[in-house]
Structure 1
Amino acid sequence: MSDQVRPEEAARALTEIGQRQEQVIRMAGTPNWFWWAIAFLMVAMSAVAETGQGPVAVIGTAVLVAGVLTTAGLVAFRAVRTPQPRTSLPVPRFVVAALVFAAVLVGVSLAATFTLKASGVSYPGTIGVSVTAVVLVVGGPMQTRYLQRLMLANRPGSRR
């Protein structure tokens, strides 16, 4: 018996490790349903704020806050239950990506809402947030894929 590892065995093992790392990174991403849920809740909250009065607004707000907390809680619970990538990630790039995405969402929302309001359109907030919701549903998964690419590129032995 030899303790030597043959090159083809080592190559297979490294391939398996790479596949497992990629699997963990893919599992750690934000699921697409999250973006849809938050987009729906944003539009619903805006509609309640613009149309609801008194108890309707209070109950609607409470239900929507519960929806956001539940949605975020489900994603957090999922994250706790799945393996996590190592922590030596390119944090500045992650932070910049999150800040840019948030700035785009706020900018789109404000621009659309103020333009609609200046044009005299009814329910400008709800329509403006609806435009933002579309950006969120399209851009959220794009941001998730970008962050996953950053994590994949940051693995030991990967080409950067």
Structure 2
Amino acid sequence: MDPIDAELALAEVRARRSQVIDANSIPSWFWRAIGVLMVMFTAAVESRRPWLVAIGSVAYGIGLATTILLVVRQAKVQVRPSLIGIEGFLAIFGFTIVLVGIGVGLGLGLEAAGVGWPATLAVIPVAFGLAVGGPRLMGFLRRLMRSRPLAGDR
């Protein structure tokens, strides 16, 4: 195979890999939907009204299941976990820990200060963090996956 054909073949493989990565990225609307569902559910539970807790729980369950199903149904193939590597794992883990820390810390602080609806108020910045940070995390993971060598570990 001459060098030009080899280069063209590699370019085609890179293009196909990018298509697979893009086809399986979690869309931006997913993060916003999860954030809205979290705030709605937390407010329903924190209302301490049994009928509202029941309605909020059912709505959350249906909303979460629907949101996840829509994302899963759009995925055409599955990206190998080794493609994100330890860097990707640490980014996902760090993102999660930061949001959990913000939510729990703020909620406990608001409750200690005697503020009403502390969990609901604490989950709002977490939902905002998901809506803004989720798409950025996905962008980082896409760049990370594209930077991996074409011949990975087998």
Structure ID, larger Rg: 1
Contact 2:21–2:79 at 8 Å: present in 1 too?
Answer: yes
- Residue in 2 aligned with 1:127? 121
Q: Letter of the 1:116 partner, please give it.
A: L
Is 1:33 the counterpart of 2:29? The answer is yes
Give the structure 2 partner of residue 137 of structure 1. 131
**TM-score under structure 1 length normalisation:** 0.83
CA-atom RMSD, angstroms? Answer: 2.1
- Report the CA distance between 1:30 and its aligned residue: 0.8
TM-superposition CA deviations, 1:118-154 (whole Å, max 9, x none): 2222211111000111111111111111211221111
> Which 4+ runs in 1 deviate beyond 4 A?
none
What is the one-letter code of the residue matched to 2:25?
G
State the partner residue of 1:46. 42
- Structure 2 distance, partners of 1:38, 1:153, is 29
- Shift in Å, 1:90: 4.3
Match of 1:146, as an amino acid?
F
The one of 11, 14, 26 equivalent to 1:15 is 11
Aligned positions, number? 152
- Comparing 131-140 with 83-92, greater Cα deviation is found at 83-92
Counterpart code for 1:93: E
Segments of 5+ residues of structure 2 without an aligned counterpart are none
Shift of residue 8, structure 1, vs aligned partner:
3.5
Q: Is the 8 A contact 1:37 1:71 kept in 2?
A: yes
By how many angstroms is 1:10 displaced? 3.7
